[in-house]
Structure 1
Amino acid sequence: RYQAECIDKLYGEVAPTGEETLALVLREPIGVVAAIVPWNFPLMMTAWKIAPALAAGNSVILKPSEKSPLSALRLAQLAQEAGLPKGVFQVLPGFGHTVGKALALSMDVDCLAFTGSTAVGKQLMQYAGQSNLKRVYLECGGKSPNLVFADCKDLDRVASHAATAIFHNQGEVCIAGSRLLVENSIRDDVVERVLKAAESMQPG
């Protein structure tokens, strides 16, 4: 909804200059954006990638994960029914080592947006360099830490948040809190509370 609202608000600007000069700043589409999304939260990740690209006037080729292509294909069908011009939004299912690589190496792709592992992100950067030096935007997995110090006033709350941070969606989240760094004096207490919080998250 936010990106849709932006569509008619991407204005140009007149840059501040001297009295005898006029400088115009124009916003122009990049061209063809290839978006490669992972299998966790497939529709949400897709929306995050394609909405700003389409709103800015680009065409988008979406490569969904081979493990979760159906929501992307359905979205393409709905976009067609809604009247999106032919070819503006395309879905290209397949494996990363074939379809993803081909998109990254393509001279006809002007921009690459990727969410996934750091190892694959590095490969995509190399492919972009080997082709047309296309712009590459990466959201790669990391090791997000939780820091807990002895002066913490509410360890139960910390434990609850730490458990949720790593176990939400089975830990299949880019920003999962996959490290828990705890001051030695409260380590055992915090670990016990996190285990208890994790057990309470189990269904049934």
Structure 2
Amino acid sequence: MALISLEDLDGLDDEQLEDDITDNPEPMDEEERGRLLAHWQAVASTHQVSVPPDMTGPIQEMTRNSQQREPLPFTSISRLEKMGEELYEERVYPAGHWACVTRGEELYEQSISNAFMKLMRFICKENSAGRYLGMTVPVISNIQMKDGTTFDKNVQTSFFLPAEFQGDAPRPCDPDIAIVYREPIRVVASCDVSAL
């Protein structure tokens, strides 16, 4: 399943985008911005999500800062391995403030991707601080059971606010984003954290 995610930022070299796109602090020229947007639109089309042109700025900002991700500390509870390969790990993440978006699109992939784009805008200056906030990993998606046999259509996608903002969280400009304080939470994580 292809999702618009942090791993897409890492895969930009595979799309033969110039190395200086991610290293250059100067604004991208129109051609570079167009190639970057086209890459994300191609990824999004694989699961019926469209990336609007107004995402160019947040995509550019996330690309430029893709190597500056703050990993969350966690306690490992258990791991599942099969034939020597780690499949997933059950973890406990600390208490703190999370930026959360709930979406109920036709497909779960659409809900997660559309929510992630909203979170990207929040991270990339659409907040009361008016600045790039920084990214933490992993991004967590929460799907609830409705009646024990079927899943609720709504998916909550969340990212932990960077340590700098845990005491004083910036307010989102988008009313769909809620800043929520959570006690420590248990999650099941893919063995490749960048895939979350």
TM-score bracket for the superposition, by shorter chain length: under 0.3
- The structure whose residues are more often strand, as a share, is 2
Higher relative contact order (CA 8 A, sep 6+): 2
- The structure whose residues are more often helix, as a share, is 1
User: Please, what TM-score do these two structures have when normalized by structure 1?
Assistant: 0.20
| Max Rg structure | 1
